[in-house]
Amino acid sequence: MSETETKELPAAEQQDERRLNMIEAINDALDVSMGRDDDVVVMGEDVGYFGGVFRCTAGLQEKYGKTRVFDTPINECGIIAVAVGMGAYGLRPVPEIQFADYIYPGLDQLISEAARLRYRSAGEYIAPLTVRSPFGGGIFGGQTHSQSPEAIFTHVSGLKTVIPATPYDAKGLLISCIEDNDPVIFFEPKRIYNGPFSGYYDKPVQPWKKFDASVVPEGYYKIPLGKARQVTEGEQLTILAYGTMVHVVEAVCREKGVEADILDLRTLVPLDIETIEASVERTGRCLIVHEATRTSGFGAELSALVTERCFYHLEAPVERVTGFDTPYPHSLEWAYFPGPIRIGEAIDKILKD
Amino acid sequence: MADRPEGSAAQGDNRPKLSLHVPEPKFRPGDTVDFSHIEVPAAGSAPRPDEACDPAEMRDLAFGLVRVLGDDDKAHGPWDPKLDPDTLRKMLGHMAMTRAFDERMFRGQRQGKTSFYMKCTGEEATSVSASMALAGDDMVFPSYRQQGILIQRGYPLIEMINQIYSNKGDKLKGRQLPIMYSSREHSFFTISGNLATQTPQAVGWAMASAMKGDSRIAATWVGEGSTAEGDFHSACTFATVYNAPVILNVINNQWAISSFSGFAGAERTTFAARALGYGLAGLRVDGNDALACYAAERWAANRARANAGPTLIEFFTYRAEGHSTSDDPSGYRSAQERSEWPLGDPVMRLKNHLIAIGEWDEERQEKMDLEAAEHVKKVTKEAEANGILGHGLHHPFRTMFEDVFEELPWHLREQADQAVHERETKFPEGLPEA
């Protein structure tokens, strides 16, 4: 992994070797954004004095004061709604929802309000908010600390959905989200907050600092939304993934000696369709991997797009490896998680066809 | 059961058996209406506490009714805002214009010029008078029944009608259902079809104003039915937690479409009393008394502006007409209710007050009503030149895809091309002349 992670980072390599895990990178992005723009405010449950249950906002209240970084009542509808109101005033709120599993009370405000504000007011009012929320499983989080609800948001016109897979990306993408004038859902794969995860849950996790993607430049930089990241290059097949699964598929391919064109999508809406098309047209085979449940998951959209746009280049049916269509179980987590066996078999099937 | 003393009845063995209470309004179609159960305190009897007072001192006000205009049409008591006659005439004029506008637009819907309309008949004071008590740049987050605010703030009627007709002059490009106005220039927030969502948004706007050390406050309007939404609880909680400079106006017009206010909890308490549990200042006001509406809103605005905190105001009024052009109230309530309503009509009461103080007369009223109707008629004609719904005069197809995001992403660009292609296929000779 270290070898491929290096390719991404020519700019970073030229700078000092400051290495951060994803939590520190997110914290750094918030710090940089708040330092640059007085209108950026951070709010959510436990984000203020305490610095967040995952430490993503640690130290920010002390540095920027209580009117820019503050704790909120336990009320996700209220958190999103007041952020919408603040956006209408002219601020750039960055609300946090403690777990993506708890974003649902705020859905009406996100779907009916934040996503529609610009459209229904013909641009008079906008909702330039970035909703940060830890998501994904693999941490024995059970039913309500493991979900991957991205497909709910990608289905909403007017919302952007962004998911980083490395500390370097997390900072650059988050700064872009905060500066973007559209509402963005920024899902943070909490399984890889501290280090990339291979999917081999019985092996110890290596901390981010051992990987080049943890080299995070100081200060301001952005990664554009809507651009995928080429993780590895290969001719055998294209693998589309995001978040934690990027690292799992990379480990599986390395293990199996498969040379895959792995694309970390980074932004689901707007999607980098050009990069996807170019890759599938070259490889002729496509595997889609996500942790979220299968039916009507984002993989279905990806599969349809690839089939519609690359049909005559395909040499095998597009495959999806996903979580099962059940609530996320606690004790059977690793039976549920789309791990190396499920991914490996799907790769074998695609390559055999 | 182990926790039961020997010899006593089994726990859970209660008599009579449990029964579910389902609220029922007092009067249904055909019933004789008797509103004598509604307590109407004398005008001037409610005390006016200091604007910075502790909400706990206002308990009685949340259960009472602030009234200024008495049966003698004179202003009474400490809540009399003592407005000069010119201001009162202006207030009356805005209310008359709102009513004339409603009449015309309702008729326009019946004539098929648009798909939908909602009147605010009987509730004009709760928007016009309340709005007059705010600064023009205080941000308002209305529901769909506060057209009086736009009229009071001088929003051009033609813009309202263009929006209602979804024509080529419509600033919102035909995207929104009629009456879902938006005017940033008039500090009027974009109206949403989703009920009560605007209430916590208003709190957020007010918090932002406070965070920035601004002097502007926010005010939001919501119907009593929508106070049952979770968003309203969010609004009250955030407002009180952050002491936000916001006014939460609850328009209790007794009806949420066909459901009477009992389904929002009115059988047990007042809506103003909700404030007490949150530690908000709570006022309950005669919503058909234009002076009381003005005075209460001004009190709350002064309180918010002084950093003394948010206020919840219940305007006790009556929805005199159907819920919307899609509604027929004769299917669920007695037709007598409107005439029997003990708080009368807000326009008539203000008119009678002006006459009682020698500043107005029936002749001038008639002239004003006529002029308002003529003006609306004239502007309607102007707006109709921009098109009416379904007559082809609308914004170009491509605009349907704009403003979803700040910039058009590839998938919307492709879909926009498709829509244009479909138009060209339908009209190969070019689009029909408007």
* Rounded Cα gap, residues A306 and B262, in angstroms: 54
Q: How many C-beta atoms lie closer than 10 Å to residue B260's C-beta?
A: 20
Average pLDDT over residues A14-31: 89
Block mean pLDDT (10 aa), chain B, length 434: 62 82 97 96 98 96 98 98 98 98 97 96 98 98 98 98 95 96 98 98 98 98 98 98 98 98 97 98 98 98 98 98 96 97 98 98 98 98 93 81 98 95 87 56
Query: Model confidence at A162, in pLDDT bands (50, 70, 90)?
Result: very high
pLDDT tens readout for residues B223-281 = 999 999 999 999 999 999 999 999 999 999 999 999 999 999 999 999 999 999 999 99
Q: Are A104 and A151 a contacting pair, CB within 8 Å?
A: no
- pLDDT for A15 beyond 70: no
Q: Looking at chain B, how many residues does it have?
A: 434
Residue A38 belongs to some domain of the structure: yes
* Rounded Cα gap, residues B240 and B263, in angstroms: 25
**Is A155 tagged catalytic?**
no
Per CB-CB distance under 8 Å, the chain A contacts of B210 are 67
Q: Are residues A244 and A104 in the same domain?
A: no
Q: Are residues A151 and A288 in the same domain?
A: no
Q: Are residues A183 and A230 in the same domain?
A: no
Q: Are residues A245 and A331 in the same domain?
A: yes
Q: Are residues A145 and A254 in the same domain?
A: no
- pLDDT value, residue B175: 95
Average pLDDT over residues A310-339: 97
Query: For A75, which of B199, B234, B403 is closest by C-beta distance?
Result: B234
Share of chain A above pLDDT 90, in %: 94
- pLDDT for A14 beyond 60: no
- What CATH number is attached to the domain comprising A247? 3.40.50.920
B171, B173, B170, B166: which is closest to B399 by C-alpha?
B173
Q: Are residues A55 and A107 in the same domain?
A: yes
- For residue A199, the distance in angstroms to the closest alpha carbon of chain B comes to 33
Q: Are residues A244 and A176 in the same domain?
A: no
- pLDDT for A8 beyond 50: no
- pLDDT for A96 beyond 80: yes
Contact criterion met (CB < 8 Å) for B189 and A125: yes
Q: Are residues A191 and A230 in the same domain?
A: no
- pLDDT value, residue B396: 83
Last residue in a domain, options A156, A180, A213: A213
Give residue A55's domain range.
3-199+205-213
- pLDDT value, residue B117: 97
- pLDDT for A224 beyond 80: yes
- pLDDT value, residue B434: 42
Directed axis angle between helix B362-384 and helix B157-165, to 10°? 50
**Which is it for strands A92-96 and A160-162: parallel, antiparallel or unpaired?**
unpaired
- pLDDT for A187 beyond 80: yes
Contact criterion met (CB < 8 Å) for A124 and B241: no
Q: Are residues A128 and A70 in the same domain?
A: yes
Q: B184: which 2 tokens?
A: 């940033």
Contact criterion met (CB < 8 Å) for A91 and B172: no
- pLDDT for A12 beyond 50: no
Last residue in a domain, options A169, A187, A213: A213
Contact criterion met (CB < 8 Å) for A124 and B190: yes
- What CATH number is attached to the domain comprising A119? 3.40.50.970
**How many domains does the structure of chain A reveal?**
2
Per CB-CB distance under 8 Å, the chain B contacts of A122 are 171-173, 175, 182, 403
Residue A318 belongs to some domain of the structure: yes
* Rounded Cα gap, residues B146 and B317, in angstroms: 14
Q: Are residues A195 and A334 in the same domain?
A: no
- pLDDT value, residue B7: 65
Cis, peptide link before residue A270, omega less than 30° from 0: yes
- For residue A119, the distance in angstroms to the closest alpha carbon of chain B comes to 5
Contact criterion met (CB < 8 Å) for A125 and B206: no
Query: Model confidence at A353, in pLDDT bands (50, 70, 90)?
Result: confident
Q: Are residues A18 and A90 in the same domain?
A: yes
- pLDDT value, residue B5: 63
Residue A219 belongs to some domain of the structure: no
In whole numbers, what is the pLDDT of chain A averaged over residues? 95
Last residue in a domain, options A162, A188, A213: A213
Mean pLDDT lowest for which of A3-7, A325-329, A337-341, B24-28?
A3-7
Average pLDDT over residues A35-49: 98
> Which chain B residue is nearest to residue A123, measuring alpha carbons?
B403
Residue A167 belongs to some domain of the structure: yes
Mean pLDDT lowest for which of A69-73, A142-146, B15-19?
B15-19
Residue A218 belongs to some domain of the structure: no
Coil, strand or helix at B85? helix
Q: Are residues A285 and A311 in the same domain?
A: yes
- pLDDT value, residue A71: 98
Cis, peptide link before residue B23, omega less than 30° from 0: no
Query: Of residues A76, A96, A150, A319, which has the active-site annotation?
Result: A76
Residue A161 belongs to some domain of the structure: yes
